[in-house]
Chains A and B, each alone.
Chain A
Amino acid sequence: MQNKPNTKNRDDLKVIITATALTLTLSFWNLFSDGTQKSVDAASLEPNISTQTIQGKILLGGPPPKTTIIVSQPGASQRRNQQNAPRTVTNTSSSK
């Protein structure tokens, strides 16, 4: 029965340490996650002209997938080409 006050003091100390640790964790979390959140928001505002997806099976620890498929909106690169394109000598197309 005489040990009871000491036990209570130890429990109070544990609560204080836990609360401090939680507070610090949440503070750092907010501090570092803030910048990332801002950049994601900025990126989401940019127009989505093309998307890049990786085809094939992704094996963790294995070799990277070989094939990259770039899906472009028709005319996207054409608009780019028209601005400052070199004059072509000739064209390739299916036999004409």
Chain B
Amino acid sequence: MINKLEFKAMGCHMLAALDLPEDRLAELELVPGWFEVWEQSLSRFRETSELSQLNRSAGTPLQVSETLWDVLQESITSERLSFGLVTPAVLDALVVAGYDRSFDALPPTSAYLTPDQFAPVGLLSEVLLDEANRMVCLPPDLRLDFGGIAKGWAADQTTHKLAAFGPALVNAGGDIAISGPQSNGEAWPIGITDPFEPESNLEILMIEQGGVATSGRDYRRWQRDSLWQHHIIDPRTGMPAQTDVLTVTVIAPSAMEAEVAAKVALISGSRAGLDWLESNPTLAGMLVLEDGQRLYSQRVSEYLWS
């Protein structure tokens, strides 16, 4: 029996599911508490969070928790594997683009925005790290926003913890981690939401283990100077990515890897993004373009329900 618990955390809708012999929620009720602890460490929207303290202390070394250290290490790996396209060093660029508070609190704005306000973002290689003492020192002009990386990481961590009780699935705002097949041996059916008709599925994926994530500029977007802005920053320009891709869904060994890969494909554009997915044997994906066309990588057929 699939038991489910839904809740809000990290500014997103969350779902935790556990396949147990009976109707029971006790284990799932632990999950919101875990997210609360992680959010207090990783959120850039909380003034008192550990990340906010780190961003304020740029230029000064600060000892950080195991959680923040772990996510920072994962971010460094992601930045390297994505050739710098996915990095948490985009906070200032997001603020310039208008994303200066949680998305729910974002008002319509007409502030004048000039191209010279945008600039390429820094790299995590500029951050000074002392592993023995978990000390982090940000350069003065670099501030972090873990964004989707934190959600993917949290989904993977939660699934790993829940797997002690039974087959588990966690959906953290679209980033999904799966511990293994359901008790009956079947894969988990997961819908890919149609960005043009959010009540419908474009496809249904059958996933036994690993991660699925969707990155898109269809929802978290806002108008500034009558131009649409969105939250996926291209670090090369510091501006919201100029791309013909609307959403990308990627299947990967973990939710965090899927999240990073989906962002790379989206920022790269349809042709380069699809080629990049094809060149990585652990990835499979589907791109939805602005005109509604869908592009599938070859390996995605292994997961499509038909």
**Which of B30-38, B39-47, B123-131, B292-300 is near enough to bind chain A?**
B292-300
B-contact 0/1 string along A83-96, CB 8 Å cutoff: 00111111111111
Picked from A89, A92, A95, the residue with its CB within 8 Å of the CB of B219 is A95
- Please give, as numbers and ranges, the residues of chain A lying within 8 Å of B27 by CB-CB distance: none
Query: Known contacts A91-B193, A94-B215; is A81 also within 8 Å of B305 by CB?
Result: yes
Does A3 have its Cβ within 8 Å of any Cβ on chain B?
no
**Which of B9-17, B93-101, B112-120 is near enough to bind chain A?**
B9-17
Could you tell me if A80 and B306 are in contact, using CB atoms closer than 8 angstroms? yes
Residue of B nearest to A55 (CB): B271
A-contact 0/1 string along B208-249, CB 8 Å cutoff: 000011111111100000000000000000000000000101
Could you tell me if A96 and B188 are in contact, using CB atoms closer than 8 angstroms? no
**Which of A11-19, A26-34, A40-48, A67-75 is near enough to bind chain B?**
A67-75
Does B256 have its Cβ within 8 Å of any Cβ on chain A?
no
Could you tell me if B169 and A89 are in contact, using CB atoms closer than 8 angstroms? yes
Could you tell me if B192 and A91 are in contact, using CB atoms closer than 8 angstroms? yes
- Please give, as numbers and ranges, the residues of chain B lying within 8 Å of A81 by CB-CB distance: 201, 203-204, 305
Could you tell me if A85 and B305 are in contact, using CB atoms closer than 8 angstroms? yes
Number of A-B contacts (CB under 8 A): 118
Query: Known contacts A78-B194, A88-B204, A91-B190; is A67 also within 8 Å of B219 by CB?
Result: no
Does A66 have its Cβ within 8 Å of any Cβ on chain B?
yes
Query: Known contacts A81-B201, A86-B204; is A94 also within 8 Å of B189 by CB?
Result: no
- Please give, as numbers and ranges, the residues of chain B lying within 8 Å of A69 by CB-CB distance: 274, 295-296
Could you tell me if A94 and B195 are in contact, using CB atoms closer than 8 angstroms? yes
Query: Known contacts A72-B293, A78-B194, A89-B17; is A66 also within 8 Å of B201 by CB?
Result: no
Q: Give Cα A86–Cα B2 distance, bound, in whole angstroms.
A: 14
Picked from A78, A89, A93, the residue with its CB within 8 Å of the CB of B189 is A89
A→B interface (CB under 8 Å): 55, 66-72, 74, 77-78, 80-81, 85-96
Beyond known contacts A69-B295, A93-B219, A94-B219: 11 more, CB 8 A cutoff: A77-B202, A77-B203, A78-B202, A90-B171, A92-B171, A93-B216, A93-B247, A94-B214, A94-B217, A95-B12, A96-B173
